[in-house]
A and B are shown apart, each in its own frame.
Chain A
Amino acid sequence: MPVIAVSNPKGGAGKSTTTLLLATYLAQQGASVSVLDADPNQPIMDWKKNGLSKTTLQVIGGVREANLMETLEEQPHQFVFIDLEGTASLLVSRSIAMADFVIVPVQASAVDVRQAGKAIRAVRDEEKVAQRSNPSRRIPFRVLMTRTPAPGAPVSSVQRQLEAEIEAAGIPRFKTSLAERMAFKAVFVERLTLAEMRDLKVGNLDAAYENVHQLAEELIGLLQDIEKESAA
């Protein structure tokens, strides 16, 4: 049961979008998935509660510092995502400490990347703390570039510089990025999954679907490697 925390202390980096797209996609592929909505604004809880989606995804709201561990232990699902708030809080750092994998979404902006650096340093420090009692404990993470131009569209020099700096710093990142797409915004507006929006005109749905498919494939590959490593 991999626990996947989605974290960047900067708001608007694409945490909830990333969480919802991946979680609903995996659920659609037959996985049992839950999302712990640890964002005080409860965007994913709102999506589930007030929408008409027939997804099997379970959403648990009201996650707090005090009940995080218990809530995690109660999850009988194959995949558990934690959608975190856009602040540097104990709820965020504890979620990171309990996660098997951390996704750090960043937009191509200096502010996003600097704040992401805070999350990355927290991941590394939490890993060191956990290794005191369990030397084999790892908290792997990947930076995910979000709201990038769609394939074929020009890439800004800011994004190129940031990508180069991330690479130079040896920070691991997803090969796939999440493009800026109308369909991703529409998921929250319509409160449906991508697959459920087939009959709506929400931009290039096929391209959006393919984008999420690639990201999910990459994530599952990484999680498989982590499982193999921890089993060895």
Chain B
Amino acid sequence: MNKFGLLDDETSPPLLTSSLTEKIAMFAPVKPRQQVDIAAADAAAAQHGFVSREISEAADTKLLGRRRRTVPSEPTRHLAIRLSSSAYDRFVAYADRQKLTYHDALARLLDTVGG
């Protein structure tokens, strides 16, 4: 007798329960990842003390030998920029890998993107 209405009615459908294995099977293996703005993510994390703990490739510049300096064929102007530590490391590492001076590396990157 269902005196207090707490017992399931015999005619009510059974509860849908699934085992952990069945639940797991519902997760697709491949899903496109959302793009993350690394520079913005790093800047937000830096406020809480999250900094790079890796030895940057830029730190190994001494091992890479002397860079060949090209003489510019036009007048030069000075550009001083402040950039995030990670962007700095990437840029310096790129210049080192390519054995380019910074101004040549910047010109190469601009050439690459058609800028």
Contacts and interface: CB of A to CB of B under 8 A. Distances in A.
Given A1-B28, A89-B50, A121-B48, A134 B34 contact: yes
SS of A interface (majority): helix
A92 B35 CA distance: 17
B96 to A, nearest CB: 14
A6 to B, nearest CB: 16
A210 B111 CA distance: 60
Q: Is the interface of B mostly helix, strand, loop or mixed?
A: loop
A152 interface: no
A179 B38 CA distance: 36
Contacts, number: 119
A137 B37 CA distance: 13
A133 interface: yes
Interface stretch (A64-72, A181-189, A191-199): A64-72
B24 A90 contact: no
Contacts of B44: 93, 122, 125-126, 128-129
Nearest to A2: B27
A225 to B, nearest CB: 11
B41 A126 contact: yes
B33 A73 contact: yes
Given A1-B29, A69-B33, 18 more contacts: A1-B30, A26-B24, A69-B36, A78-B27, A78-B29, A85-B53, A88-B49, A88-B50, A90-B51, A90-B53, A90-B54, A93-B44, A94-B41, A96-B45, A98-B33, A122-B48, A126-B41, A128-B44
19 contacts: A3-B33, A29-B20, A69-B33, A69-B38, A78-B29, A85-B53, A87-B53, A89-B52, A90-B51, A90-B86, A92-B50, A94-B36, A97-B41, A125-B48, A126-B44, A217-B20, A220-B23, A224-B23, A227-B26
Interface of A: 1-3, 9, 26, 29-32, 64-65, 69, 72-73, 76-79, 85, 87-94, 96-98, 118, 121-122, 125-126, 128-130, 132-134, 137, 213, 216-217, 220-221, 223-224, 227
